[in-house]
Amino acid sequence: METYVIPMSESTDSDKYIIFRPLTGLAFVGNRAMAELSTVLSKGAPVLPEQEVGEFLEAIDFYKPDPPTLSFSDTVFHPTTAVLLMTNRCQLRCIYCYASSGEFSPKDLSSALGYTAIDYACQNAQEMGRSEFEVSFHGGGEPTLAWKTIQECTAYAREKPIKAKISLTSNGIWSSAQLDWITSNLDGLTLSIDGGSSTQGRQRPLSSGGNSSALVMSTAKELDGRNFNYGIRMTATEPWSNLPEDVRFLVEETRCPTIQVEPAFNPRRGGHGQPDEMEALAFAEAFLEAIEVANQSNRILFYSGARLGMSPGTFCTAPYGALIVNAEGELVSCYEVTNATHPMAKLSAIGRIAGEEVIVDQAARSYLLNLIAERREACRDCFIYWSCAGGCYSRMFGTGPEGHQIREGRCYLNRYITQQLLLKGIADGNGVLYSPPRSGCNC
């Protein structure tokens, strides 16, 4: 039985611990004796607790066996999702853009590249006996600027013998004709909005320098009016104290049920920065306050590094199940590694599309996945081993031969938020949190 004992204080004299079984979703607070007993019992030792303690453990389902966990292998690559990184062009100049979109010579993914990726994902899904495959139009820039290719690839995917689930990640700056087409032809959407007008204008300005808020909020209202399936993706930067009010703005001004927020500790274009402990704590406190704002409106707010109820076996499924292709026809392992300027570009390159052939560099792919596995294994004693699973490699890895083993501010951040969410869940559950986990992808 996977069981973790988490001291509630750094003091060695502390007698309060969170006892956490991540694979069954059970958590409660106990004293040192209960923590030690739980550890022994989780190892299968034949110990008979005192009657009152034993009855309590039975009542909360402490002895429930762990469910099976997902296993990810680097030996077989049969992606059933085609991720098309459409273009490096963009109408915005976001201050934290990982792709530095709009700064390079324009490059768009061709329909021919899209067709080959779609064929590959569909064929794999059919061979695996699945009833559908996925197509995702994604970044490097604003996908809808490669408009004709999106339309052609969507039509092509819809002609396949099994269902295509087609989604888009976008800044939401569309024409009325694009809005009509998207809501009529796609299955889902992630809309990038960072909050109220002041925050949106500061963090996501138009290329002209103007404020993009009115344009994207007009799109959100149209999506709400058409009951279209979408989620919001926020990026938070300093001052972190703005985050709760930006979340309040979004829950009051949209009907979007789910909001994902990720911190940018750069903030610079072209990569990700690592926070120090104080920066991490400042974001964490703002995020925890923002969750309460979302909860009051029955909305879900989450951060990928700290998701209770998730036991995915890996932080992100993209390196295992997604064929990600950029405008050059290069295959990469991460949605965010869109060009050669990204710090993780060389590590993330796993092949190419040549004509109608998908060529996977299995040696390069295995090398990356071995580093991800080594990092996760080094996290084995951490209580967020099953939810964080080592974290996002494109944000957590450093440089050098041991760069994959660097532990910096994001590790502290993920542990701190998870611990606070556990305590909140325990309090809300009258002393016991029981939240059966789900598999899936954190990001």
Nearest to 124 by CA among 160, 95, 158, 93: 160
Burial of 176 (C-beta count, 10 Å sphere; 0-12/13-18/19+):
exposed
Angle formed by the axes of helices 147-158 and 176-185, nearest 10°: 20
Beta-ladder partners of 222: none
- Per run of 10 residues, the mean pLDDT along the chain (length 443 residues) is 90 85 95 94 86 92 89 80 97 87 84 98 98 95 98 99 98 98 98 98 96 98 98 97 98 98 78 81 97 97 87 81 96 90 90 96 94 91 90 82 82 94 95 77 57
Residue type, 311: S
Paired tokens of 133: 């495959």
Would you call 66 helix, strand, or coil by DSSP? coil
Q: Where are the alpha helices (DSSP H) in 297-404?
A: 318-321, 345-348, 362-378, 393-396
For the stretch 33-80, pLDDT in tens is 999 999 999 988 888 888 899 999 999 999 999 988 877 766 689 999
Burial of 354 (C-beta count, 10 Å sphere; 0-12/13-18/19+):
exposed
Beta-ladder partners of 263: 236
CA–CA separation, 107 and 149 (whole Å) = 12
For the stretch 374-418, pLDDT in tens is 999 999 999 999 988 888 888 878 778 888 887 778 899 999 999
What CATH class is the domain 73-420? Answer: alpha beta
Task: Please give the C-alpha separations between residue 91 and each of 106, 116, 252, 268, 271, in angstroms, as whole numbers.
Answer: 12, 28, 26, 18, 19
Paired tokens of 359: 């060529």
Burial of 169 (C-beta count, 10 Å sphere; 0-12/13-18/19+):
buried
Would you call 24 helix, strand, or coil by DSSP? coil
CA–CA separation, 139 and 240 (whole Å) = 25
Q: What is the pTM of this model?
A: 0.91
Total residues found in the chain within this entry: 443
Paired tokens of 60: 């909360």
CA–CA separation, 361 and 346 (whole Å) = 12
Q: Taking the domains of the chain in order of start, what are their residue ranges?
A: 1-68, 73-420
For the stretch 230-264, pLDDT in tens is 999 999 999 999 999 999 999 999 999 999 999 99
Paired tokens of 87: 């273009």
CA–CA separation, 319 and 349 (whole Å) = 11
CB 244 within 8 A of CB 290: yes
Q: Sheet of 357-360: strands edge to edge? A: 300-302, 258-263, 230-236, 188-192, 163-170, 132-138, 81-85, 322-325, 330-332, 349-354, 357-360
Is the bond into 65 cis (omega within 30 degrees of 0)? Answer: no
CA–CA separation, 424 and 416 (whole Å) = 12
Average pLDDT of every residue of the chain:
92
